[in-house]
Amino acid sequence: MSVFVTRPRAVRRAGFSVLALTAVFAVVAAPEMSQGTPAAPTVHAVMFARHPAGASKPDDITRLGDLLYVTYQNDAGKDGTPAGSFSTVIAYDSTGKAAATYTIPGRCDGLTADPSNNRVLATANEDLNSSLYVIHPGTSAPVHYTYSPDPAQTGSDGKNGGTDSISIAANGKIYVAHSKPDPKLHAPNNAPAVYTLTLPGSTAQLTPVFGVNDPATVINAATAAAKPMGLTDPDSNQFLPSLDGGTLIQGAQGDSKLVFATDLNAARPTLKQLDLTNATPPKHGAATPQLDDLAQVTGPGTLYAVDQGASAWIYAIDTAGIAPGTVFASQPNPSKGDLPNDPSLGVVDLKTGVVTHVRTPLTSPKGLLFVPAAAKTTSSLSGMALTSNSNTPLVYGGSAVVIFGAGFALLMWRRQRRA
């Protein structure tokens, strides 16, 4: 016999009210997930390093040896103005303490370690007046290189263009993004989207890999026909050695797409493009994602994420519970002229182009770096307090409320039954 049958009506109403209220709380707390949207992994972000006094607007991050390098753009403009502007590159040890400081004239956007040559490559001024700097650990001043040819172009919108993100393939080949190209230049003046980089003497020699208007198959389109990419904002580069025998992923931030380049040693690489969509519509209107950086988690280790928001902290995320192959993406706070996206760390499906947000304390994610498990990485995370904004409330918030509510309802029922 049901206990509700033998209880007074008032008690039954009280029990139903508590359960109903619990259900309401569960619905409110549960995340909105559209059908077919991949679930975001649960992450716990901890503060790894604070910004040093006088440094602001952290952007890119890389690792050389046992040190993590982070560039702080301070107040430098995208073309290096005003005169005297500079960026600060900080090398952090495994505990998050600053071990070395370097100064880069202008605005440093791209920062990548070149382990085979024991150096860090840094690009400056992505819109105009661009050049390259090389940091050699143990020396005080970065070495300056002048680009040849100059990545700036005179086209339909005046003279502009520079370099941005850098990535290095398994064979040591260096790829650098061509920032702010002119997409209206037609063949044979099709603006490069990405270059290879060599450093003969004091010159940074640039060689185009593919152009912004080259045709590429759309991965998530109904038809397999190739179409011109029309890239206006090549931004980030990421080389994935495990994808199709080695793939360079070019992120076109303002175009809301990713470009996949394979057969990189051929005269013309094979190109595919992926159009990006948000799993959840932004709060301030429909928009497609504008991603700044990518990092693929390959197993246990640490995902480092740079926050250019109010904290300007570097965060660390233990990836032991994250499925190998997961690709994280940073979606920063929109700047003037950007689409009204919600800033967030997210994961991107490389087949569908769907970007699903992950709740973290970051308010404007920028550079990402995955470091496979190592003794120093593990020890650097031990003893750090978890932030209050882990992903647990987002993914499991509804379940927590249901469990709490069910326990509370059972307790109330037992008390009322005893009465």
DSSP 35-81: TTPPPPPP--EEEEEPPPTT---EEEEEEETTEEEEEE-TT--TT-P
Question: Which is higher by pLDDT, 15 or 162?
Answer: 162
Q: Distance between CA 250 and CA 60 in Å, rounded? A: 16
Q: Distance between CA 112 and CA 130 in Å, rounded? A: 16
CATH classification number, 41-261+270-390, choose in 3.40.640.10, 2.115.10.20, 3.40.50.620, 2.120.10.30: 2.120.10.30
| Dihedral over Cα of 344, 213, 206, 262: its sign | positive
Q: From the CB of residue 403, how many other CB atoms can be counted at a distance below 10 Å?
A: 13
The region that residue 147 occupies, defined by phi over 0 for left and psi between -120 and 50 for alpha, beta otherwise, is beta
Strand partners, 346: 329, 357
Picking from 58-67, 95-104, 394-403, which range would have the lowest pLDDT averaged per residue? 394-403
What confidence tier does 183 reach under pLDDT thresholds 50, 70, 90?
confident
User: Would you state the structure tokens that stand for residue 66, as one six-digit string?
Assistant: 């046992």
Helices and strands (DSSP H and E) totals, the chain: 4, 29
Of 143, 129, 127, 133, the residue nearest 166 (C-alpha): 133
Q: What is the mean pLDDT of residues 148-153?
A: 95
Q: What is the pLDDT of residue 25?
A: 33
Q: What is the mean pLDDT of residues 33-54?
A: 79
Residue 115 in this model has a pLDDT that exceeds 70: yes
pTM more than 0.85: no
What confidence tier does 186 reach under pLDDT thresholds 50, 70, 90?
low
Question: Which is higher by pLDDT, 124 or 221?
Answer: 124
Q: What is the pLDDT of residue 155?
A: 79
The domain ranges of the chain are 41-261+270-390
Element (H, E) at 393: helix 392-418
pLDDT tens per residue across span 253-270 = 999 999 999 999 898 999
